[in-house]
Amino acid sequence: MSFKELKLNKPILKAIAEAGYHEPTLVQEKTIPLVMGKKDVIASAQTGTGKTASFALPILQLLFDRQDAPKRGKKIKALVVSPTRELAVQIGENFKTYGKYSNIRSAVIYGGIPMEPQVDILKKGLDVLVATPGRLLDLHKQELVDLSAVEILVLDEADLMLDLGFIDDVNKIARLCPEEKQVLLFSATIPFKVEQLAKTILKSPERVDVSPELPAAGNVSQLLYYVPKKNKMELCLHLLRNNIKGSILIFRRTKMGVDKLERTLSKNGYKVETLHGDKSQNDRKTALGKFKNNYVNILIATDLAARGIDVKELDAVINFDLPNLPDTYVHRIGRTGRAGKMGMAYSFCSADEKQYARNIQQSIHIQIPVIEDHPFPLDPKAKPEIHKKKTGSKHKKGRKGAGSKKKKKRWY
């Protein structure tokens, strides 16, 4: 099937052809006709399947067909809600790319930067707004954004949205939009909480499920290393010196772990950048830019910070900390081995992660080859390390009293 067969207009077809897209992916093939038919849709699609275009292209088509599209000062007709700044920016860039030969105006708003430039953009009038929940509600509270004319609401990465605690914000945003609207919900997975959200917001939705058994399974060579937790850093250095070359994305479970690995690799002469929730928007943008443009060849990230990263020709993924969910593993390794090229996935498994490895292999129906010939093998009889909490009479200042409780930081 071609994009032309999906009945997209000539300006959109010209734009996507220049962007290098010739045939729609499966999720695009299934979803675009439904969206253009003004149906509510709940779609399950993994990273790298082209899901952004599956809603961006038909939205542009629908708005392009409207008689008032060229007019300025118009209200927002399509709203895309994204859980993180990086994802929002990426979606915004796609709308600009696909809509370059139309009069459709789009913009992105997110937290972490001053509001004034975003307010100026909103005042000029938009057709499409891409936003993170927190900043969108902040602007609405100040009556700086008007959602009364929204005809299409897109909830992207809904599972991540709920994991980050945005359930109340999402429901509020849906209520701020007109009752009669088209709603599109996209999620890598459809757990129970996403199903419940869909029931409250969508009306008789069409279901699209294109989640593959394993993204790019034929193009990703997977290797498993059993290693004591204390030796993971040494194993990482050993493999970087002898086996793993090129553009490398390393996953760690925590922000502290990301920073610790960065210090070690930097001391050993490697060019490294990092992504995690404590980084400012500018720092994250700079880090990702350096990695994409090959100023550094190693990027260390947490799962949440890396969600939505689109890096072409990524040579390898290292699971420094094995994820506890098979879906997370699938997301991680699916970032390499794209566009017909081979990729590598290296996973380090300590004694307390053995069950994670079993669950992953059972879920993906693949027995991952185990590499035993390395300098830091794990004793097969090794038991998970137990870390006892230190107790004592010492207390940090400011811990006493109800008023000292820290406010939970929101990341949007």
Ranges of each domain in the chain: 4-209, 217-364
For the chain, the straight-line distance linking the first and the last C-alpha, in angstroms and rounded, comes to 38
Q: What is the pLDDT of residue 211?
A: 60
Q: Model-level pTM greater than 0.75?
A: no
Q: What is the pLDDT of residue 396?
A: 43
pLDDT-based confidence at 409, cuts 50/70/90? very low
Q: Which is higher by pLDDT, 126 or 216?
A: 126
In this prediction, residues 149-160 reach a mean pLDDT of 92
In this prediction, residues 266-272 reach a mean pLDDT of 95
Q: Which of 35-49, 56-70, 205-219, 328-342 has the highest mean pLDDT?
A: 35-49
Write the Ramachandran bin of 38: left for phi over 0, alpha for psi from -120 to 50, otherwise beta.
left
Q: Which is higher by pLDDT, 376 or 21?
A: 376
In this prediction, residues 344-360 reach a mean pLDDT of 93
In this prediction, residues 163-192 reach a mean pLDDT of 90
CATH superfamily placement of domain 4-209: P-loop containing nucleotide triphosphate hydrolases (3.40.50.300)
Core vs surface per residue 292-329: b (16+ CB within 10 A) or e: beeebbbbbbbbbbbbbbbeeebbbbbbbbbbeebbbb
In this prediction, residues 16-39 reach a mean pLDDT of 90
Give tens-digit pLDDT for 277-296: 777 767 878 888 899 888 99
pLDDT-based confidence at 7, cuts 50/70/90? confident
Token representation of residue 190: 């459809």
Core vs surface per residue 246-283: b (16+ CB within 10 A) or e: ebbbbbbbebebbeebbeebeeeebebbbbbeebeeee
Q: What is the pLDDT of residue 390?
A: 46
Q: What is the pLDDT of residue 86?
A: 80
For residue 174, the one-letter residue type is A
In the predicted structure, residue 408 carries a pLDDT above the cut 60: no
In this prediction, residues 310-323 reach a mean pLDDT of 87
Give tens-digit pLDDT for 189-237: 787 888 889 999 999 999 998 765 444 456 889 999 999 999 999 999 9
What percent of the chain has a predicted confidence (pLDDT) above 70? 85
In the CATH hierarchy, which top-level class contains the domain 217-364?
A: alpha beta
Rounded Cα distance between 97 and 291, Å, is 22
In the predicted structure, residue 401 carries a pLDDT above the cut 80: no
Exposed, middle or buried, 212 (CB in 10 Å: 0-12/13-18/19+)?
middle
In this prediction, residues 115-119 reach a mean pLDDT of 92
Choose the weakest-confidence range: 92-96, 211-215, 324-328, 336-340. Answer: 211-215
Mean pLDDT score of the chain: 85
In this prediction, residues 388-411 reach a mean pLDDT of 44
**Domains 4-209 and 217-364 fall in the same CATH topology:** yes
Q: What is the pLDDT of residue 205?
A: 93
Give tens-digit pLDDT for 87-110: 898 899 999 999 999 989 999 999
